[in-house]
Amino acid sequence: MTASNETFTNLQKTRRGLDRLLHATGFSAAGLRHGWSEPAFRFEAILALVMLPGSIWLGRTWVETAVLAGTVLLVLIVELLNTAIEVTVDRISAEWHELSGRAKDLGSAAVFLSLLLAAGVWLAALASRLS
């Protein structure tokens, strides 16, 4: 561990309470800014700005509204995790490797499944609402 990494680690251990929460919030905001630089996340986030208020209209109960909103947020969460996997794999090596490709494919499959889940829930809710 280098001296600067050691200092950072010690500083993180000494943070408590609100100070720790504020710093963690800063790291989360930085992660969201990095996510925003990804076209797929940006598209899904803009779509979420429409769908989250739409979940209030479409959901008949608070549970339905929560499930609809939850599926939208799940897509964003999985997209961020997929981006983290891709960035980490790219950081390790720029050369193609079977395991690197597999990791990226698995992350992409997770995003795809979260999109299928969201689409299925929203289509079922729309069908119920319009019938």
Where are the domains positioned within the chain?
Answer: 1-37, 38-130
Print pLDDT tens along the chain (131 aa).
555 555 556 656 678 888 889 989 999 999 999 999 999 999 999 999 999 999 999 999 999 999 999 999 999 999 999 999 999 999 999 899 999 999 999 999 999 999 999 999 999 999 999 98
State the burial class of residue 11 (Cβ atoms within 10 Å of its Cβ: 0-12, 13-18, 19+): exposed
Annotated active-site positions, please?
79
Q: Per CATH, is 38-130 categorized as 1.10.287.3610? A: yes
